[in-house]
Structure 1
Amino acid sequence: MTQLNFTLDMDKLTEEILSSNLNSATKGLAVAVFNAYMEAERDAYVQADSRERHALRQDMRNGYYERDYKLPIGRITLKVPRTRSGAFSTKLFEKYQRMDQSLVLTLVESVVSGVSTRKVTKIVETLCGEGVSRSFASDILKRLDPEVASFRERALHHKYYAYVYVDAMYIKVRENHRVVSKGVYIAQGVTSENRREIIGFMVSEEESKAAWTSFFQDLRARGLKKPKLIISDAHSGLKAAIKEDFLNCPWQRCTTHFLRNLTDVMPKKNSQAERTALKQIFYADTLAHARELKTNFIKTVEGNPKYTAVIEKLEAGFDDALQFIQEPTGYHVSLRTTNSLERVNREIRRRERVIGIFPNIDSAVRLIGAVLMDIHEGFQKTKRKFLRDYAPGEN
């Protein structure tokens, strides 16, 4: 296998790719890579920009023809460049036959995995045996923009999303010669058929009511109807935006975050029994049982000044953290927390960590959009429903 001379664990990445189910997002990147390479070939052959006339010009561009090509990831359709004389012929297909196909797949997956354009350029040069311009990889990545835009701007009115999870994470971006923190806002919806979808994302300023309002207004403009329940953490700006943009919509406070807030103000030592009792409140099957467990907890710890703060916080946040209990019992495990969306965030973080700092907002939107498209398609392919109303005694 060809050895690549830069810091990247290609063997590990290749193994992951070959053992995964590569989907249409990956196919789209393969098309972008191959089309961009053939375009660069024709540019080098013609030796002139479009409509540029000079003595060294060898031929004229004459559009494209489509050609199906079969790869290990499936059949793709390529736009093969032509020249007016017909003398130009791409060498891509001949070169591809000589390439190690797993490395080509690695190149494609590298784009979504967050590998820098400089490293992608080096991969192309290694695979194809000749140099390419500095802008080559950037041009390839930009060809993904229409797909990402179509995904993030698609209409939502044709489905009803009964439950909506929202969360934000932070990334680093270069802006005006400085490194700044940006918020990545993500919404996950659950349809009336209990299927998950990524219904929106936005890269903007750090969390605030204004930023969340802008995000929600975009979702509503695309057709999102008021859900039965919105699940999130208790960020003040987020809560205010939900109250304003989804009037009278029940809000479920993530119990994982709430429990963390509660235990943070509890004694660190000799409090394991109290912590267990507190946690059991949010695993009750009925609101009456939850209230009973809360009352018992308070009776156990009241009078101890070390528990005054936790009692106050529990009383203040109890109702918001128990909204899920009105839904079918089998749904509770998924509705009481934002854990399912946190897993999406971790997948983005795994890819984003390769880059560290995004060169600009556009590159962040491109990578995060590609990752979310990949995750969304995985949701569509699974046959298992996200929410299931378990029968009594079912595990």
Structure 2
Amino acid sequence: MTQINLTLNVEDLKDHLMNSNLDAVVKSSLVLILNQMMETERDEHLNADAYERTSARTDYRNGYYDRDFLVSIGKINLKVPRTRNGEFSTSVFEKYQRADQALVLSMIEMVVNGVSTRKVTKIMEQLCGESVSKSLVSTITKKLDPIVNEWASRPLNVMYYKYVFVDALYIKVREHQRVVSKAVYVAVGVNSQLKREVIGLAVNHSESKEGWTQFFSYLKSRGFQSPKLMISDAHKGLKAAIQESFVGTSWQRCTFHFKKNLFDRMPKKQAEELKHALLRIFDATKPEDARALKEEFMQTYDGERGYETVLSLLDDGFEDAIQFMNEPLGFQKKLRTTNNLERLNSEIRRRERVIRIFPNTQSAFRLIGAVLMDYEKSLDPGERKYMYDEKEN
């Protein structure tokens, strides 16, 4: 893995973490992490793992007792380990207070931001003078799995998602001693309140019809109903999977990518004039107006040398690229492209660039899921909607 040089201002980091608006997800993570740290301490005190037979054992486990612990994000309930002779005492509470709570909160923050295990151990030592083993960081990270899995498998039948944006991007994963590319499938839905949710995440071998069909089956198994419109790029496998998986659903081809394909194949002669004419077609707000402008364009350049490819592409993809015009005028700008997924993808990429190669598929799912959970909180906060009908303005 490439060595990453981090410049860390400890006091600024502590201040940032302590004043973060941490929600219930992070609160649950904190409980899991502190419990795991105490469990590890007891193992070290006993000099034996659970159910391990060894002459080096110094004592035996004796269950747990509950303890409420007040932290900056509220009161949490912890399971404190006990031993038979009562000599074991955890240092977690003392260390937690001494580190101004930065130890655990920093771990959570760094996991979500894609910092490597090796870097986490070094930063922890800078933060509070306490060394943390790589194995403990890995164990703590795995404790986030139930939280991410619960979010990724939550029911989708409590809300109808009329519009859904889907996309896939590639990451590198280590598998059987080899580095391979894997596809990350993501779906963002606009619910009946016109607010966005990240409704689907999966990591699969490649972007294909089979992969997309599996992804849609996973959504339907959670109660997802056929949307009115799905917006995506023109991947053939994705388009075929949408047609087979959702009867009655229209497909909107991303106009940004479609227009770019057309522009790239235009002859240089009269290119600006051609672009302007094409933009007029997709700036229309009614299907019948767009069709009239398209026919005018086709007739104007039909038979001219060098324009055959552009005209053929436009004719083939036109109807799929104007489906957004059947929706309310106030919605159309948001429905004609997949641009709203670009920031989401950049958030994933920002973390992925730090890691470069995920150690396994589960670690990729865990990290990307945590990133998406965090990103979802920024989508359309409060009473803000993603789309507004003209009648509401």
> Structure 2 length normalisation: TM-score?
0.90
The match for 1:32 is 32
Q: Confirm or deny that 1:383 pairs with 2:383.
A: yes
Question: Structure 1 stretch 306-315 or stretch 125-134: which is displaced more?
Answer: 125-134
1:125-164 map, 5 Å: 125-127=125-127, 129-164=129-164
Question: Structure 1 stretch 6-15 or stretch 270-279: which is displaced more?
Answer: 6-15
Question: Structure 1 stretch 281-290 or stretch 347-356: which is displaced more?
Answer: 281-290
What CA distance in whole angstroms lies between the structure 2 residues aligned with 1:67 and 1:379?
A: 36
CA displacement, residues 221-278 of structure 1 (integer Å, 9 cap, x when unaligned): 2111111111111100001111111123111111111111111111356522322331
Q: Secondary structure at the match of 2:65?
A: strand
Say if 1:65 and 1:81, in contact at 8 Å, map to a contact too. Answer: yes
Distance apart, 1:147 and its partner CA? 1.2
Q: Secondary structure at the match of 1:68?
A: strand
Question: Structure 1 stretch 225-234 or stretch 189-198: which is displaced more?
Answer: 189-198
Unaligned runs of 5+ in 2: none
What CA distance in whole angstroms lies between the structure 2 residues aligned with 1:300 and 1:134?
A: 67
The match for 2:223 is 223
Q: Secondary structure at the match of 1:194?
A: coil
Q: Confirm or deny that 1:304 pairs with 2:304.
A: yes
Q: Which amino acid aligns with 1:231?
A: I
The match for 1:9 is 7
What CA distance in whole angstroms lies between the structure 2 residues aligned with 1:333 and 1:161?
A: 18
Aligned-pair Cα RMSD in Å? 2.6
Q: Confirm or deny that 1:313 pairs with 2:313.
A: yes
The match for 1:355 is 355
Q: Secondary structure at the match of 1:57?
A: coil
Say if 2:4 and 2:354, in contact at 8 Å, map to a contact too. Answer: no
Q: Which amino acid aligns with 1:250?
A: S
Question: Structure 1 stretch 367-376 or stretch 14-23: which is displaced more?
Answer: 14-23
Q: Which amino acid aligns with 2:27?
A: K
Distance apart, 1:293 and its partner CA? 2.8
Say if 1:118 and 1:137, in contact at 8 Å, map to a contact too. Answer: no
Alpha carbons of 1:319 and 1:131: their partners in 2 closer, same or farther (altered >3 Å)? same
The match for 2:327 is 327
Distance apart, 1:161 and its partner CA? 1.0
What CA distance in whole angstroms lies between the structure 2 residues aligned with 1:286 and 1:223?
A: 33
Unaligned runs of 5+ in 1: none
Question: Structure 1 stretch 44-53 or stretch 377-386: which is displaced more?
Answer: 377-386
1:113-192 map, 5 Å: 113-127=113-127, 129-192=129-192
Alpha carbons of 1:131 and 1:44: their partners in 2 closer, same or farther (altered >3 Å)? farther
Distance apart, 1:18 and its partner CA? 6.5
Alpha carbons of 1:311 and 1:29: their partners in 2 closer, same or farther (altered >3 Å)? same
Q: Confirm or deny that 1:364 pairs with 2:376.
A: no
Q: Secondary structure at the match of 1:357?
A: coil
What CA distance in whole angstroms lies between the structure 2 residues aligned with 1:301 and 1:118?
A: 61
Alpha carbons of 1:339 and 1:118: their partners in 2 closer, same or farther (altered >3 Å)? same
Say if 1:25 and 1:370, in contact at 8 Å, map to a contact too. Answer: no
Say if 1:197 and 1:380, in contact at 8 Å, map to a contact too. Answer: no
Distance apart, 1:42 and its partner CA? 1.6
Q: Which amino acid aligns with 1:175?
A: E
Q: Secondary structure at the match of 1:174?
A: strand
> Structure 1 length normalisation: TM-score?
0.90
Say if 1:121 and 1:136, in contact at 8 Å, map to a contact too. Answer: no
